[in-house]
Amino acid sequence: LSMDNTYSADEIREFDKRVKKNLGVDKVDYVVELKIDGVSISLLYEKGRFIQGATRGDGFNGDDVTINLRTIRSLPLNSSVRKGVRFPSAFEARGEVYIPRKAFLKINREKEKKGEEVFANPRNAAAGSLKLLDSSLAAKRHLDMWIYGFGGVEGASFKTQYEAISFLKDAGFHTNPHIKKYHSIEDVIKYCNEWESKKDSLDYDIDGMVIKVDMFSYQRDLGQTSKSPRWMIAYKFPAERKETRLEDIIVQVGRTGTLTPVAVLKPVELSGSTVSRATLHNQDEIMRKDIRVGDCVIIEKAGEIIPQVVEALKNKRTGKEKRFSMPKKCPACGSAVENIEGEVALRCENLRCPAQLKERIKHFASRQAMDIEGMGEAIVTQLVDKKMVEDYGDIYYLKHDEVKGLERMADKSASNLIDAIVKSKANSLNRLIFGLGIRHVGVRAAWILAARFGSLERVTSLDTEEFEKINEIGPIMAKSIYAFFRSKENKRVIEKIKRAGVNIEAIGNRRKTMKLEGKSVVVTGSLESFTREAIEELIRAEGGNASSSVSKKTDFLVAGKDPGSKFDKAKKLGVRIISEGKFKKMIK
């Protein structure tokens, strides 16, 4: 799960109010940590020995990087703790791998000398280093890590986040020295502001602060939404801004046909990377901000990720600046563009548009979708331009000799790409659904569809009403899914994928009935067989709504060990209360 982001002190105060209201308490302790701008990793230990390490990936799948993690000096391969403390029999530690700034600069200087492309920022350098096939090269990258907590633990009981961090420190893990515990939200805000002004004094990048409810019992009671925990938020530092010149505006066509104006900028360094392009969103935004070609503009990275133009500096205009208007025809295929009702953006409705096709293929092959390694932008561009691929089904019929004929594609590279394509046939159904590029369907929705219906055949056969019955799928997404699978062109491509032998079944998820169909279920207390995340995922997969609070509409409460205030409220409202064992029998 990801964290919700906040960008102001008032939003932090609102978070504090929500936490106290949901818990029914007046005081809550918080742990505040630096938000390291690195690569998230999970470390598995058994009997004190490091067994395996992986990146967190898309939340479902990550990369096994055990060998390269072993080269990190701060990673304890055999942990020990102070006397009197029993070590957990097995646990998962979570943290961030990063490259110190000095090491990053050294790496890029060496790359420049060799004429190689430099890394855009330390985070990218850390991610690339973890993927190196030669661990001796990874060892030279000076990777380091900070550990911030447990993902799962057996044989130990911690009551608070701060206690868990202290244990990890005693066990020899590299825990950040700037983690603090506060009783007041105003002290939390003060600490966040303190680091906003001195973040550049560190030898590693941070892009904000992480604020967590300290008590684990409170964390369990607060639970989570489908996207993020309710007991934790990230405070993101205000985005860095820079002035530069807008030299041109071009129009890009996305995989769903949306036309997006993009600012071509005089390159400028911003938040650790060189920025030469920025989104302008749509024509309405350009008009509202009165942005013109030739303007001096202020740019920032929205959420520290996507560069965008904030404003035009009108006082610096010379009179030579030019207004911009969106084209009436698609710049890629020449088809007329349409303004879809209820949407601001213009769209090209030509499914054969080469620009759309390139973006659809890139999306289909992307890491969160079918994860076809080696099928990057340069290869996709050639495949489409040479008409070797006219839809994503064609990918599975490419031959080695055809691929070998592409630019920068040697015999070995061609073999690797074909192997990656074949390997992707066995991917999980949720990856395929996400890769199809259905409008409004993201990673989470794709997972829900796969878990709920069990096969692509089932998904394609349903009507809008069936999709709308799912708690996390609204009417807009439901109509989009239905329309996608009714398209003759999409049906044709899906049949081609099936014939190629691509997996269209959800492994281990073929239940004919949903045991919790339409039920509102709340969980409280510590569970023996499930993590909180796992039981809530199971509730949703069985058609139920995993709610975070008890009300008269709650169908039943699953109560584990040491239940919190939700248990008392459920008794007061007469809500049915069941044990973990009863729940397991219910869904068996």
Half-sphere exposure of 569 (CA within 13 A, CB side): 21
Return all residues near 469 (Cβ < 8 A) that are at least 6 apart: 518, 543
User: Do 564 and 525 contact (CB within 8 A), yes or no?
Assistant: yes
User: Do 274 and 120 contact (CB within 8 A), yes or no?
Assistant: yes
Amino acid at site 581: G
Specify the pairing of strand 232-236 against strand 4-6. parallel
3-class secondary structure, 391? coil
Residue whose C-alpha is closest to residue 515's, from 445, 428, 584, 447: 584
User: Do 39 and 126 contact (CB within 8 A), yes or no?
Assistant: yes
Q: The tokens of 429 are what?
A: 């159904």
CA atoms of 559 and 562, how far apart (whole Å):
8
User: Do 440 and 495 contact (CB within 8 A), yes or no?
Assistant: no
Number of helices (H), then strands (E), in the chain: 22, 20
CA atoms of 404 and 406, how far apart (whole Å):
6
Residue whose C-alpha is closest to residue 543's, from 586, 493, 489: 586
Amino acid at site 241: R
Q: Provide the Cα torsion 282, 283, 288, 291; round to 10°.
A: 100
CA atoms of 302 and 322, how far apart (whole Å):
26
CA atoms of 571 and 199, how far apart (whole Å):
48
Residue whose C-alpha is closest to residue 19's, from 189, 226, 185, 235: 185
Residue whose C-alpha is closest to residue 234's, from 214, 213, 210: 210
Q: The tokens of 210 are what?
A: 């992480």
User: Do 371 and 427 contact (CB within 8 A), yes or no?
Assistant: yes
- Catalytic annotation present for 552: no
User: Which residue spans within 353-443 are E strands per DSSP?
Assistant: none
Residue ranges of alpha helices (H) inside 352-408 are 354-365, 377-385, 400-404
Residue whose C-alpha is closest to residue 158's, from 1, 31, 26: 31
Q: What is the DSSP string of 196-222?
A: HHHGGGSSS-EEEEEEEESBHHHHHHH
User: Do 223 and 536 contact (CB within 8 A), yes or no?
Assistant: yes
User: Do 120 and 304 contact (CB within 8 A), yes or no?
Assistant: no
CA atoms of 34 and 98, how far apart (whole Å):
13
Vertex 302, ends 296 and 306: CA angle to 5°?
Answer: 85
Amino acid at site 206: I
Catalytic pick from 20, 21, 35, 425? Answer: 35
482-508 residues labelled b (16+ CB within 10 A) or e (exposed): bebbeeeebeebbebbeeeebbbbbee
Catalytic sites, residue numbers: 35
